[in-house]
Amino acid sequence: MMRQDYRKWPHPAEATEIKDKCDNMNYMIEIYTGSSKSKKGLGSGIAIFIDGSLTFQLQYKLAEKCSNNQAEQLAIAKALGKVTDLHQLQRNQ
């Protein structure tokens, strides 16, 4: 496996195109993620809407030593995994 030098990676601000949600478009899948750190602990959550209906709500509790950024990244990774699983199920039917 060839390793890439991380110093040559493009900066996200230069490589990412941000598109705002258009009010007049119908989105089949919408994903919302969030995280929170308080005295009670650290957690992240996901809400996945399919055709406008809340289909999945997922919550994760993380170790206290984790950062809020790590919790948010976990939520994004888990959401992408869930959507991938749904896509695989749909393809196999």
The model's pTM is 0.69
pLDDT along the chain (93 residues), means of 10: 71 72 78 90 93 92 91 94 85 79
For residue 75 the two structure tokens come to: 């939520």
* Residue 69 phi, psi dihedral angles, 5° rounding: -65, -40
Interatomic CA distance for residues 57 and 32, integer angstroms: 10
Interatomic CA distance for residues 5 and 93, integer angstroms: 41
Q: How long is the chain? A: 93
Specify the pLDDT at position 6. 73
Interatomic CA distance for residues 71 and 49, integer angstroms: 21
- C-alpha gyration radius of the chain: 17
